[in-house]
Amino acid sequence: MKVNRPEFRNPWHWVRVLALVIIGAVIGCLGAFVQEETITLDVRWGSLMIPWGMLLVWAALASTIRAGAWGTRTRMGAWAILIGWIVATITFSAENAAGALVITSGVREAVYVIGGVILGAFAATLPVRKVVIDPTAPVN
């Protein structure tokens, strides 16, 4: 199958995609430590724990994925960020040689990983809107 898209033949396109994988990995590394942050509110029926770290990482992930898609004008840029995030997150979920875990095996951590994959896949699958500038159009 031959690809006739000019951006795939440009070597700088692949440099941008690699940079986006690295950006996704950085978000995954930072998110591994931030996702466990919560705030506890006292309400009438007891206490309410809000995982603000998880919500912050999810918002950063979704917005960065969309920015990657718009920046490269392809979905490949979005998927590159998501792949970098997944690799970093799975790496921090695994036990290291000392036996320590950054992302433990609790319910909140499972929701973080699975929810991040679902949200990231949704954001990466959205189509990229092609902007065509008409040079003959009048400027208002």
Residue 105 lies inside a defined structural domain of this protein: yes
At CA 69, angle to CA 30 and CA 88, rounded to 5?
Answer: 25
Residue 139 lies inside a defined structural domain of this protein: no
User: Which residue range forms the structural domain that includes residue 90?
Assistant: 21-125
Residue 27 lies inside a defined structural domain of this protein: yes
pTM, two decimal places: 0.82
Q: Which two tokens mark 40?
A: 């506890």
Residue 96 lies inside a defined structural domain of this protein: yes
Query: What are the tens digits of pLDDT across the range 22-78?
Result: 999 999 999 999 988 889 999 898 898 889 999 999 999 999 999 999 988 889 999
Residue pointed to by tokens 């979905």: 75
Residue 103 lies inside a defined structural domain of this protein: yes
Q: Which two tokens mark 86?
A: 């997944």
Counting the structural domains of the chain, the total is 1
